[in-house]
Structure 1
Amino acid sequence: MLVIDKPAGLPVHPGPKGGPTLTDRLDALRFGLPRRPEAAHRLDRDTSGCLVLGRHAKALARLNRLFADGKVQKTYWALVEGSPPDEGSIDLALARRSDDPRSWWMKADPAGLPSLTHFRVLGRAAGRAWMELRPVTGRTHQLRVHCSAMGWPIVGDAIYGSAGRDGVLQLHARGLSLPLYPKREAIAVAAPAPGHMREGLAACGWSPAETPLPQRTSGLPEIRS
């Protein structure tokens, strides 16, 4: 397993419009193995942070199962517009906006798939909030739709918020906890706050010294910028 800190704006897989992708660069991460590693889960193009790669087919299948079974704990940071409550849960089913299989845009829909997100506010400033989001389910665009539906769209969200197309999404996959071995503690990793979010986070009270990365666990090093 490898865990990388994916930058915002870089898609993981090729899309219909072409352009550079993370997949194009994975051959550089073989480290002696005959095949490149592959992503074990999804991370939106505009979302930065922790992305898990399986180094070979057996590892990838095992990691895929952990994510599919909801055993991986995921933590995101987001800057949102508005004034969410200090903590709570968002329980809104989600469905595709369109029947077009090429469309990934989602909407809140009682007839959709169950979707649950826990949250807490870590800081506030000038009509915005720094939120910690913990998705229990892993639906497409879940955090973006949930925040928007509650009236606190994520800053820079050109689909579900009010940002223009040139806005940078303020959503970061902060950390993961993976129970890779049944009789050992889960492996915890965290990615530092990305450059495009630091000003907004600092305005809400964030300080690098106050949010240290976890100590090394099971031999896996911290992710560094």
Structure 2
Amino acid sequence: MTDILPIIYRDEYLVAINKPGGLLVHRSEIDRHETRFAVQLLRDQIGQMVYPIHRLDKPTSGVLVFAFSSDVARQLGDIFSRHALTKTYVALVRGFAPEQGIIDHPLVEELDKYTDKKARADKPAQEAITEFKTLAQIEFPFSIDKYPCTRYSLVQCSPHTGRKHQIRRHMKHISHPIIGDAKHGKGNHNRFFQEQFACDGLMLASTTMELIHPITNEALTLTAPLATKFTNIIRQFGWESALPASWITTQDH
């Protein structure tokens, strides 16, 4: 993994990068041994203070936005808290997922023993909604579970709420866990991708984000191409036509 973070958008108010999978956004008690964080790497790279606006799970790649000032950070934070933007993710999941659907399934907050010590453990489940559609499917003549063949789907997801691990938990909820998800996925399918396709890591990426620029009021579309390992799977499975060309890359992120 290179320490040069791919910048996908930059102006005088904000900057957006394509975060590599496996990189923390900022220091966390969850991974106390980690020494590399997107915030510090980006500050060092551009020689300027940056303020993180939102999070991506450590294993998730894709669009990550920072502000250059605390004032812009507050305005962007308001946009995110009101969900006044559109986020699009791509995921590779087990099974033949439905053509499309809306997962309306409240989620109990996942608490971490380090960072959530003071949080209430008895909080009620929070509203969580994810819209999805299936872009492509494939079947292999291998028996991994109890079925004679193994099926996989490429799914586009748009979360309407922002719960922790929402897409990962929602796809598991409808029995289509994401490949490479060590916590919410299926180990035998994760190992199959490692052994057959040399593909490890979480197959979930934030590919686009659409919002109104908080200062210029212009419509802003941020696009982060898929990492090489994800792109390689797309090509091997013959799925290139299922995705916009801007989502596919031959460069390593």
Checking the alignment, whether the CA contact within 8 Å between 2:136 and 2:153 is kept in structure 1 is yes
Does the CA contact (< 8 Å) of 2:76 and 2:214 recur in 1? no
1:136 and 2:149 correspond: no
Q: Sequence identity of aligned pairs in percent?
A: 29
Q: CA deviation at 1:131?
A: 0.5
CA distance in 2, matches of 1:209, 1:146: 22
Is the deviation greater in 11-20 or in 201-210? 201-210
1:188 and 2:217 are equivalent in the alignment: no
- TM-score, length of structure 2 as denominator length: 0.74
> Are the aligned partners of 2:95 and 2:152 in contact in 1 as well (CA < 8 Å)?
yes
Q: How many residues align?
A: 209
**1:159 correspondence with 2:172:** no
1:119 maps to 2:132: yes
Task: Look at both structures and tell me which one has the larger radius of gyration over its CA atoms.
Answer: 2
TM-score (ref. length: structure 1):
0.83
Confirm or deny that 1:63 pairs with 2:76.
Answer: yes
Q: Deviation at 1:84?
A: 1.1
C-alpha distance in structure 2 between counterparts of 1:48 and 1:10, whole Å: 8
Task: Tell me the SS of whatever aligns to 2:75.
Answer: helix
Counterpart Cα distance in 2 of 1:192 and 1:208: 15
Query: Equivalences for 1:1-225 in 2 at 5 Å?
Result: 1-16=14-29, 17-19=32-34, 20-30=36-46, 35-97=48-110, 100=113, 102=115, 111-126=124-139, 127-163=151-187, 167-180=200-213, 184-207=217-240, 211-213=244-246
Structure 1 residues 4-54: Cα deviation after superposition (integer angstroms, max 9, x where no partner): 0000000111122231211221323545xxx51121111110000100111
**Uncovered stretches (5+) of structure 2, i.e. residues with no partner:** 1-13, 118-122, 140-150, 195-199
Deviations 1:84-132 (A, max 9, x none): 111110000001355846369xxxxx94000000000111112110010
8 A Cα contact 1:124 1:205, kept in partner = no
Q: CA deviation at 1:209?
A: 9.8
Residues 59-101 of structure 1: CA deviation (Å, up to 9, x unaligned): 1111111000001110000000011111110000001355846
RMSD of aligned Cα (Å): 2.9
Q: Which structure 1 segments of 5+ residues have no match?
A: 105-109, 215-223
Any conservation in 1 of the 2:110–2:164 contact (CA below 8 Å)?
no
Does the aligned pair in 1 maintain the 2:135–2:242 contact within 8 Å? no
Q: CA separation of 1:196/1:99 partners in 2, compared to 1, >3 Å: closer, same or farther?
A: closer
